[in-house]
A and B are shown apart, each in its own frame.
Chain A
């Protein structure tokens, strides 16, 4: 009987476990999921909490309950993986042997890596919305905020959901307008990138959306220190940006248990992984999915979802001694909430940057356009997450690989000038 162990009961771990459980009879394989706590957080919901548009209860559920019958759930921390011995050492010192290991331990925030970030002012005038506590604290701080300098800062890449800080800016602009105090606020987006976003067409579009909303864009700012008491971000090259309220996305690392596992993680604790098969380069029986994998694509739930199908296929092929399927193309798909009950959809992969058109085909949701329909899509996605994506069901019409039909190439875009 094959022993499959999955580290992490978040998006990737849960959907992988449920799909693998369906793929094997009970007497063919055991599926064990290990996680240190029993709270599954719908991470895309964090964005809405500071604006009073979601409550913590709305976006959390028990992890164990998202797993199908026949999956063993171990609610304990992982000390490390002994890759040579093919064993996971749990926090209590007991061990779990495996024939295939799926690392789905996500990423963790590392605010302590930025001088002063967790010092004076942290959770008072310096917040992050990337944790539930931070998002709740920020909601209260925003309610008290009646004007001044609001700064949104990304410390370093990679981060989870790279569009989320931009969405925060758009929602803040909307929220402050609704409260009638937008004119009293200087809203600034501060990024280490050389534009509002990475890929050129999307960067131009999103940069334009910031400008339209009078949100100042500061680029190539690498935050070296945060002075919460003095209200200043200080870059490594000694530039300063003053703030009254700062929303900071801290640097991210892989999970500490990966860093504690000899040879498993890279410098940041992410698992070096083949970008098409999702097999790690550490050992053939180790696979990685989602944020835990070191791949040249966004750390996003949609990426994890699309990887899941290829990963599950490859775990089975590996255990059967067959060649792996190298078909994951880096497909990512993000609803960018833009305020005023609208959202914009982008769809891309390793090779194709976000393009205008429609998704998943010529008749579908508009791409790169702010529409009410996309906002409804974003809201509906939360239901799909719990009821379709996590249980390992397919979303009709949406496939692992990125669709090209419905998209317009840049040359056509220029001719059509419809961007």
Chain B
């Protein structure tokens, strides 16, 4: 575990750069994390997914997988890949400040 300065704020992150404490997250951190991942700016549609991820994490203790996101977030899987290229569940979780989805075991 290391400390990273994101949007000017020191936060604890793991070796993959995921926040280790979801409560340290805020919207400025999301914007900075997204920029580092090449997503700039964050559109309303991005925010829709990020807020959904945070709500799911708060309710269930884990972020949703891509398939569950596609079934429940209102954003189709194809579009999720356009918004968060390569791995939407993982990337959106990272930007939303929640742990990597553990659905994949």
> CA A151 – CA B80 in complex, angstroms?
26
Q: Does B47 contact A (CB under 8 A)?
A: no
Query: Sorted from nearest, which 10 A-B pairs have the closest CB atoms?
Result: A157-B104, A236-B81, A267-B68, A237-B81, A296-B102, A156-B67, A198-B105, A267-B71, A267-B72, A220-B87
> CA A268 – CA B72 in complex, angstroms?
10
> CA A237 – CA B80 in complex, angstroms?
10
B81 lies within 8 A of A296 (CB): no
Mark interface residues in B80-95 (1 if CB within 8 Å of A CB, else 0). Answer: 1100011100100000
How many residues does chain A have at the interface if contact means C-beta atoms less than 8 Å apart? 20
**Smallest beta-carbon distance B2→chain A, Å:** 17
Number of A-B residue pairs having CB atoms within 8 Å of each other in the complex: 48
Residues on B with C-beta less than 8 A from A236 are 66, 77-78, 80-81
Q: Does B62 contact A (CB under 8 A)?
A: yes
> CA A236 – CA B85 in complex, angstroms?
9
**Smallest beta-carbon distance B99→chain A, Å:** 11
B104 lies within 8 A of A224 (CB): no
> Which of B62, B65, B72, B87 sits near A156, CB closer than 8 Å?
B65
Interface residues in A201-246 by Cβ distance below 8 A to B read: 220, 222, 224, 236-237
Q: Does B8 contact A (CB under 8 A)?
A: no
Q: A236-B77, A236-B78, A237-B86 are in contact. Are A268 and B67 (CB under 8 A)?
A: yes
> Which of B65, B67, B85, B105 sits near A237, CB closer than 8 Å?
B85
Q: Does B41 contact A (CB under 8 A)?
A: no
Q: A224-B78, A237-B85, A237-B86 are in contact. Are A297 and B105 (CB under 8 A)?
A: yes
**Residue of A with least CB distance to B104:** A157
Can you give 30 A-B contacts (C-beta < 8 A)?
A: A156-B65, A156-B66, A157-B65, A157-B105, A158-B103, A158-B105, A192-B104, A193-B104, A194-B87, A194-B90, A198-B105, A222-B66, A222-B81, A222-B87, A224-B77, A224-B78, A236-B66, A236-B77, A236-B80, A236-B81, A237-B85, A237-B86, A267-B64, A267-B68, A267-B71, A267-B72, A268-B67, A268-B68, A296-B105, A298-B105
**Smallest beta-carbon distance B18→chain A, Å:** 13
Interface residues in A282-311 by Cβ distance below 8 A to B read: 296-298
**Smallest beta-carbon distance A365→chain B, Å:** 23
**Smallest beta-carbon distance B59→chain A, Å:** 11
> Which of A220, A296, A298 sits near B86, CB closer than 8 Å?
A220
Residues on A with C-beta less than 8 A from B81 are 222, 236-237
Residues on B with C-beta less than 8 A from A377 are none
Residues on A with C-beta less than 8 A from B86 are 220, 237
Residues on A with C-beta less than 8 A from B87 are 194, 220, 222
> CA A298 – CA B90 in complex, angstroms?
19
- Inter-chain pairs besides A220-B86, A268-B68, A268-B71, 7 sampled, C-beta below 8 Å: A156-B65, A194-B87, A236-B66, A236-B78, A237-B86, A267-B72, A296-B105
Residues on B with C-beta less than 8 A from A194 are 87, 90
Interface residues in A97-114 by Cβ distance below 8 A to B read: 113
Q: Does A162 contact B (CB under 8 A)?
A: yes
**Smallest beta-carbon distance B42→chain A, Å:** 19
**Residue of B with least CB distance to A155:** B67
**Smallest beta-carbon distance A272→chain B, Å:** 8
Q: Does A17 contact B (CB under 8 A)?
A: no
**Smallest beta-carbon distance A194→chain B, Å:** 7
A251 lies within 8 A of B67 (CB): yes
Residues on B with C-beta less than 8 A from A220 are 86-87
